[in-house]
Amino acid sequence: TSLLDGLWRSQNNEFLAIDKGRFIWRDAANRQLAGYLKVVGTLMLATIPGQDKPVEFFYAISGNYLNVYDPASGRTFSFYRTR
């Protein structure tokens, strides 16, 4: 996950912090998910304590921009690297 390591922010004030296989995703209302992240190709598997199976996200990265697609909701989240 080293390519994804860093602090990412969206225009909607969502934050995604990734560091050495761990992540915290906080939305604008200060709700957050935290857990472990495994990357396989363009697939991110988020293991969240208390959930039975990993949550799947697809991602694309270009320079300091990261797009994350959630197939469960059909939403795409766009972030830019702040650190």
Say which amino acid occupies 23. Answer: F
The CA distance from 52 to 65, in Å, is 30
CB 47 within 8 A of CB 57: no
Q: Is the pTM of this model over 0.95?
A: no
Which tens digit of pLDDT belongs to each residue from 8-64?
999 999 999 999 999 999 988 889 999 999 999 999 999 999 989 999 999 999 999
* 74 DSSP 8-state letter: T
3-state SS assignment for residue 14: coil
